[in-house]
Amino acid sequence: NLQPQWLPDMEPDPAELRRSDVSAGSVLVSPKSVLVIKKIRDASLLQPFKELCVFLTEVKDMIVYVEKKVLDDPAISGDESFGPVTKKFCTFREDLDDISNRVDFIICLGGDGTLLYASSLFQDSVPPVMGFHLGSLGFLTPFQFDAFQSQVTQIIEGNAAIILRSRLKVQVFKENWEKKDGSDEKNIVLANGGVKASRPAVQYQVLNDVVVDRGPSSYLSNVDLFLDGHLITTVQGDGLIVSTPTGSTAYAVAAGASMIHPNVPAIMITPICPHSLSFRPIVVPAGVELKITLSQDARNTAWVSFDGRKRQEICHGDSISITTSCFPVPSICFRDPVNDWFESLGECLHWNVRKKQNHLGAEDEDF
């Protein structure tokens, strides 16, 4: 169930109530607050950021949340004309402040990496995300900033469709886990600071992919892959990519995987340079539980990253558990889920671009 469930004796948060009906194809209802995510240290985004924030605060009278490190940029903190606007902001710090119940929707200024970062800030339910293409690729950011005022107004008024992009729930279990900060050894420490009772683990929500590779070692990566408790294969090569349908058009497609539409409930498993002529990428149903461990006779450790972040070493006795998360990312469509996806395939990846064959003329039919 993708909708928040309220306990009878709890007062539901207004922000959650406004998002509680978010599902595939649905629209926002009377959003009051917005989180603006801007790519850090990118001078080309300063003017769009300022224009957007002035529009949201002064024209739309919305509560705007911004990361504190964004406002620490001298080009922003030193702009006296922008000072009155920044005083209206609500600020937060990554990994320290929980804003999950305060934000109605998110606006990203940057590229696909900026949207992945926005996803990582929310380890439970995610507000709908509107991505403006101000980065290098833009597969996940279908909106152009030139018409941002009319486009944002359409979203605020509820005139937009939403596609649910599935995420992966990943737990990393460490054999040699060190007890820190007085935490009990049976706790799962969540990425947002929460705690659940279980054996030692760190948990992540991943929008694109989990990548296991050989790291700095010159030896083959040698890892075992389990599906619902059964060993299905041993990966011998540079590594393994486990991706969502959204992530199938990222690292996975570069490694030879098929591209999967985000509406398809699936998990893609793609080997990286396998030392085998017959090891092809496979698609398994969403909801299965995958487990990755070092093979008993592996010559070296492995390394794992989550959407390109939080990179860490995997040693003998450690394991990585992966399944479909119950907290997808509601992504706001420019047109609709099908047209947006094929538009991105053509514009960003130049899918099936080829000079068309000339038709046969009457004088050519005899040849």
Helix axes 46-54, 148-156, angle to 10 degrees: 40
Angle at 352 between CA 349 and CA 357, to 5 degrees: 145
Confidence class for position 191, pLDDT limits 50, 70, 90:
low
Residues annotated as catalytic are: 112
pLDDT at residue 186 greater than cutoff 90: no
CATH hierarchy code of domain 168-324:
2.60.200.30
% helix, strand, coil for the chain, step of 5: 25, 30, 45
What Rg, from alpha-carbon coordinates, does the chain have?
23
- pTM (2 decimals)? 0.84
- As beta bridge partners, residue 77 has none
Beta bridge partners of 217: none
CA–CA separation, 3 vs 20, rounded Å? 6
Looking at the structure, give the CATH architecture of the domain made up of residues 14-165: 3-Layer(aba) Sandwich (3.40)
Q: Can you give the length of the chain in residues?
A: 367
- 117 burial (CB, 10 Å; 0-12 / 13-18 / 19+) is buried
3-state SS assignment for residue 83: helix
pLDDT tens, residue by residue, 318-366: 999 999 999 999 999 999 999 999 999 999 999 999 898 888 877 766 6
Model confidence at 39: pLDDT above 60: yes
179 by DSSP, 3-state: which?
A: coil
Residue 314's DSSP bridge partners are: 302
Sequence-ordered alpha helix ranges (H) in 148-240: 148-156
pLDDT digits (tens, 9 = 90+) for 255-308: 999 999 999 999 999 999 999 999 999 999 999 999 999 999 999 999 999 999
Lowest-confidence pick of 15-29, 138-152, 264-278, 305-319 = 15-29
In the predicted model, is pLDDT for residue 189 greater than 80?
A: no
DSSP string for 313-357 = EE-TT-EEEEEE-S--EEEE-SS-HHHHHHHHHHHHH-TT--PPP
Task: Please choose, from the candidates 64, 58, 63, the residue with its C-alpha nearest in 3D space to the C-alpha of residue 38.
Answer: 64
Q: How far is 198 from 364, CA to CA, in rounded Å?
A: 74
Q: What's the rounded mean pLDDT across residues 119-146?
A: 92
Whether residue 20 has pLDDT greater than 50? no
Each domain of the chain, given as residue ranges in start order, spans: 14-165, 168-324
- For residue 6, CA distances in Å to 16, 226, 326 come to 10, 35, 16
**Residue 327 in contact with residue 164, Cβ under 8 Å?**
no
pLDDT-derived band of residue 112, with 50, 70 and 90 as boundaries? very high
Q: What is the DSSP string of 241-279?
A: EEE-TGGGGTHHHHTTPPP--TTS-EEEEEEES-S-SS-
Q: What percent of the chain has pLDDT over 70?
A: 84
Tally of CB atoms within 10 A around 70 = 19
First to last CA, the chain: 63
